[in-house]
Structure 1
Amino acid sequence: MLPIASIATLCILSYVTYKYIIYPAFISPLSKIPNAHPSSPFSPLWILLKRFTDQENRSIHAAHVKHGDIVRLGPNEISVNCVDDGIRTIYSGGFEKWPWYHQFDNFGVPCMFSTAESKPHAHRRRVIANVYSKSFLQSSPEMLKISQTIIFSRVLPLLESAAMEQKPVEVLDLSHAIAMDFIVAFIFGLQNGTNFTQDVSARRQFFDTYQKRRPYRFWSSELQGLKSILNRIGPIIEPKFVQEATNYLENWTLTWTKAAEKSCATKAPDEEHIPSTTPVVYSQVHQSTLKTPFPYPQDLQIATELQDHWAAGHETTGITLCYLFHELSLHPSLQQQLRKEFLTLSPTLTYPPPTPSLPTPQTLDALPLLHACLLETLRIHAAIPGPEPRTTPSKPTSLAGSPPLPAGVRVSAQPYTLHRRADVFPDPEAWKPERWLDASEEQRAEMGRWFWAFGSGGRMCIGSNFAMQEMKLITAAIYTNYTTHIVDDEGIEQIDAYTAHPRANKLVLRYERVEN
């Protein structure tokens, strides 16, 4: 019996050695790819630890700087940093989403963003995308009414009061509030929306609840199986308040979804004197659920989609506005140049206005300096700088000069690194709007190929046009009437995470009135 036991043990050891050491390190197609860490061929522990400790983006970037356009992060994971044979192949070539995206499910139901398979995603996107197209937004009477109400009745009166009283303003919180008011009104109707811009107590209650879950994302994204097992025992890795916060947010969405449904069926009574608009996104999503066969209750299909839209719509826009305002506050002369550009609009956005009318989105979109400032902010301060993981298809595919990769490899690119290519963006760590203005057409086109703040391909951010139109209007309204000055920007550097807010979660500015 002893020789048989010895042989069995030897066979097991040989199998384990081959599978976990020899094959990944010397035989696997991934073995020809430079390692981000010496342990990368054998264990995912290094990259998991970087993600857990919020060091992922910069660690991956450092690996690309050292090793080139493709690096191996783990036994079955690689990162790329190139356009040709890189993001163009992965994100426009039908690579499916990695299960990592299930963390963005709501109510236990996938939304369009978290749907892994391309076909059901494409079905839903085709129906929804129309209301987020540039042509629709620029001609939308709902968007016009929402913009007039929020800018002239909420944002500018608030900043006017702060300027007159010389009262500093916490800008990150306010930027999230303004963005939330815009996207919620567009989704559910202005009469059903929030007024977080003015209602600070409601704002704080909501955002505090929303942000409670942020530190616990790692378990849902990377170790879903372990999380599920441990959750059966008790709140070991997630405190009870995380689930309570999730329940609160989901109930909030369901309440507004029912209100939007009612608004579509009945017109708001005039005596309420509440500005009303059609629940644009709700109506479109409702139609998509009728046309797309998903095995979930219709009300949850609608709610999961709408929750994803308001969550992404307020958080990313709020972060971007915060960093744009911070950069402009560091560059007073640029504020003056922008104001000159804004005063060419007709009508101008001076406050108080003779009549509350707005310049057309087309004229705002045509302002070159404003556009350059936004692009540069999105480049160097991307709200989502982290990797977007996909899985390699069944057909072996080469990426960035690698050998053909087998199916099921986790592969990703990240804006943080794509936006820091020194050969594309000279002096890449500097915020320089002039790089977009002074570049030749060829240079501008090349920068555009590498610009990835909204992703690319069929899964590109559906709300990119909404975000750009909204941010341009808000910025023009503010800097037409005020200059901004830094009071407290300690901790303004972005955290190293998938969604990257300021480390201190704040920015305090002072507003001064500009005489028109």
Structure 2
Amino acid sequence: MSILVGFSVLHFLQKDLDAFVVQDVDGVDAMRIIYQGGFAKSPWYSVFDNYGVPCMFSTLESKAHSKRKRMISNVYSKSLVMSSEAAKAQSHVIMFNRLLPLLKDEAAKSQGGTEVQSLFMATTMDLISALIGMSGWTFTYRATIITSGPRSCPSSQGCSNELECASILHLSTMPMTNCAPGTNIVVFNAMQQGIRKEEKVEGHRSILYETTIQQRDASIASEILDQVLAGHETAGIVLTYASWHLSKSPGLQAQLREELLPLIPCGEDILPDARKLDGLPLLNAIVMETLRLHAPIPGPQPRQTPYPGSHIEGHFIPGGVRIASLAHTLHLNEAVFSKAAIWNPNRWLESSDQDTMKRHFWAFGSGGRMCIGSNFALQEMKTVISIIYVNFTTTIMDDSGIEQTDGYSARPKADRLFLRFRRVSDTI
């Protein structure tokens, strides 16, 4: 039996497909019980295991998840994301040596448009890869490693330094002194140190002994692969829809540019200060509204009720029942988001009840298992949007099939979006 927690009802879906509804259940309060109450993930999440071992995301039991999370949580903390000089240097290269020159070339074309979803996916792949420590790899090479697995890491595929490749996937004990400049293998190092500490303190008694300590190489590779895949696709989806909406509103583009110019002078290769960028109200509203209406993971996030059962909002739910909340239904609650099906960034600027809206905002989940990379994701999306719209205007060339697919990750149905870029300097 499964239970879906929406914004005002519980749907009980029986195996025989009969359904009934329990009315007057507050979805947010029920959600808090489920996702902050340590309910274990359902076995469904095992589909996200890599190389035969769980990553943090696919770990089912809450205590094991907490141990894995503690190994890398500092890497994604907001303070580190915003203050890291290495991350800033990597972002500068990606923005001004890769993305911006490409867009300038695209803007020079007299006809046609630029397919931006693949462009955004490649950019976010570069950004998450740089954070993890794969900054020297080409996009094609990273894709090869992802498809082939951790044991197929040849030194002749474009990796800037074979030591970097061996070290990231922990397939060698070779020294790291000769790694490529700018390489910052923070996730790998954090995982390696965390596993060593767990082995030293807990040894064979550790709940991670079989899945992590005894399978160290595969466990680290599984974690890195999960973060690379999740870290680039979700942000790429949001950037696609944000640019689509902005392209329909030249006036909003102009307002955004006006907000950005004090931090990023047009035409100058200056990466904005992360904290100041984070404090820009219109930019934040655009990102929040896009995440609300186009959550990249809009569907159920299943958990299992503990035995013998749980009382949730006055209803007893037996143990072992699959139960889930959905960002999609929470984000379309008309009682919270007026005209919820309409993309309206102003709701995040003008609403008198911001606290209620934020309680219903669930793009990153909630509780101890919420998205560990949310701070990094917000920062990279704001950076990409700011660099683009301070330098370019965009218009839609072809948005056929822009509707989101009904899947775990919700890309556009056509898996593409064509925009026309024009340099701001050419329109003044």
Same fold judged by TM-score > 0.5? Answer: yes
Matched, 1:74 2:14: yes
Partner of 2:209: 294
Partner of 1:484: 394
CA separation of 1:341 and 1:473: change in aligned 2, threshold 3 A: same
CA contact (8 A) 1:145 1:277 kept: no
Alignment of 1:182-197 (within 5 A): 182-191=127-136, 193-194=137-138, 196=139
Correspondence for 2:403 among 493, 496, 513: 493
Q: Distance in 1 between matches of 2:183 and 2:147?
A: 28
C-alpha displacement at 1:190, in angstroms? 2.1
Deviation track 1:129-183 (CA, whole Å, cap 9, x = no partner) reads 0010010011111111111100010000000111012352111111100000011
Deviation track 1:467-511 (CA, whole Å, cap 9, x = no partner) reads 000010110000000001101100000011111000001000010
Matched, 1:151 2:95: yes
Partner of 1:162: 106
Q: In structure 2, what residue type is equivalent to 1:451?
A: F
C-alpha displacement at 1:250, in angstroms? 4.7
Q: Distance in 2 between matches of 1:121 and 1:485?
A: 44
Larger strand percent: 2
CA separation of 1:264 and 1:285: change in aligned 2, threshold 3 A: farther
Partner of 1:390: 303
Matched, 1:350 2:305: no
Alignment of 1:53-202 (within 5 A): 68-75=8-15, 82-166=26-110, 168-191=113-136, 193-194=137-138, 196=139, 202=140
Correspondence for 1:362 among 248, 259, 275: 275
Partner of 1:311: 229
CA contact (8 A) 1:142 1:278 kept: yes
Please tell me the root mean square deviation across aligned C-alpha atoms, in Å.
2.7
Alignment of 1:403-418 (within 5 A): 404-418=316-330
Q: In structure 2, what residue type is equivalent to 1:147?
A: S
Partner of 2:203: none
Q: Distance in 2 between matches of 1:495 and 1:253?
A: 34
Q: In structure 1, what residue type is equivalent to 2:271?
A: L
Q: Distance in 1 between matches of 2:174 and 2:151?
A: 20
Larger helix percent: 1
Q: Distance in 2 between matches of 1:300 and 1:452?
A: 31
C-alpha displacement at 1:294, in angstroms? 3.0
TM-score normalised by length of structure 1: 0.72
Matched, 1:330 2:238: no
Q: Distance in 2 between matches of 1:329 and 1:258?
A: 43
Deviation track 1:238-297 (CA, whole Å, cap 9, x = no partner) reads xxxxxxx9852555689865243679933447xxxx652321211112222223443142
C-alpha displacement at 1:83, in angstroms? 4.1
Q: Secondary structure at the match of 2:126?
A: helix
Correspondence for 1:511 among 401, 412, 421: 421
Q: Secondary structure at the match of 2:394?
A: strand
Q: Distance in 2 between matches of 1:464 and 1:170?
A: 26
CA separation of 1:250 and 1:395: change in aligned 2, threshold 3 A: same
Report the more deviating stretch, 97-106 or 123-132. 123-132
Q: Distance in 2 between matches of 1:78 and 1:363?
A: 49
Q: Distance in 1 between matches of 2:190 and 2:254?
A: 41
Deviation track 1:35-62 (CA, whole Å, cap 9, x = no partner) reads xxxxxx8xx8xx9xxxxxxxxxxxx79x
CA separation of 1:247 and 1:139: change in aligned 2, threshold 3 A: closer
Partner of 2:158: none
Q: Secondary structure at the match of 1:304?
A: helix
Correspondence for 2:312 among 388, 399, 404: 399
CA separation of 1:84 and 1:414: change in aligned 2, threshold 3 A: closer
C-alpha displacement at 1:91, in angstroms? 0.3
CA contact (8 A) 2:130 2:184 kept: no
CA contact (8 A) 2:167 2:176 kept: no
Deviation track 1:332-375 (CA, whole Å, cap 9, x = no partner) reads 11000000000021xx1533x2xx44221001001000000000
Deviation track 1:291-324 (CA, whole Å, cap 9, x = no partner) reads 3443142111100000000010011011010000
Partner of 2:382: 472
CA separation of 1:359 and 1:425: change in aligned 2, threshold 3 A: same
Q: In structure 2, what residue type is equivalent to 1:492?
A: I
Q: Distance in 2 between matches of 1:395 and 1:333?
A: 57
Q: Distance in 1 between matches of 2:11 and 2:262?
A: 49
Aligned pairs, number? 399
Partner of 1:222: none
TM-score normalised by length of structure 2: 0.86
C-alpha displacement at 1:188, in angstroms? 1.9
Q: In structure 2, what residue type is equivalent to 1:133?
A: S
Report the more deviating stretch, 388-397 or 317-326. 388-397
Deviation track 1:425-445 (CA, whole Å, cap 9, x = no partner) reads 0101000000000012xx101
C-alpha displacement at 1:396, in angstroms? 2.5
Matched, 1:419 2:365: no
CA contact (8 A) 2:75 2:187 kept: yes
Which ranges in structure 2 are unaligned for 5 or more consecutive residues?
156-163, 199-207
CA separation of 1:247 and 1:469: change in aligned 2, threshold 3 A: closer
Q: Distance in 2 between matches of 1:259 and 1:79?
A: 53
After superposing on structure 2, the runs of 4+ consecutive aligned residues of structure 1 that deviate more than 6 Å are 76-81, 252-256
Q: Secondary structure at the match of 1:265?
A: coil
Q: Distance in 1 between matches of 2:280 and 2:95?
A: 19
Partner of 1:258: 166
Partner of 2:184: 278
Q: Distance in 2 between matches of 1:398 and 1:483?
A: 53
Deviation track 1:372-414 (CA, whole Å, cap 9, x = no partner) reads 0000000000000010000001142122442x11110010011
Which ranges in structure 1 are unaligned for 5 or more consecutive residues?
1-40, 48-59, 197-201, 210-244
Q: In structure 2, what residue type is equivalent to 1:151?
A: M
CA contact (8 A) 1:382 1:453 kept: yes
Q: In structure 2, what residue type is equivalent to 1:190?
A: S
C-alpha displacement at 1:89, in angstroms? 0.3
Q: Distance in 1 between matches of 2:336 and 2:220?
A: 41
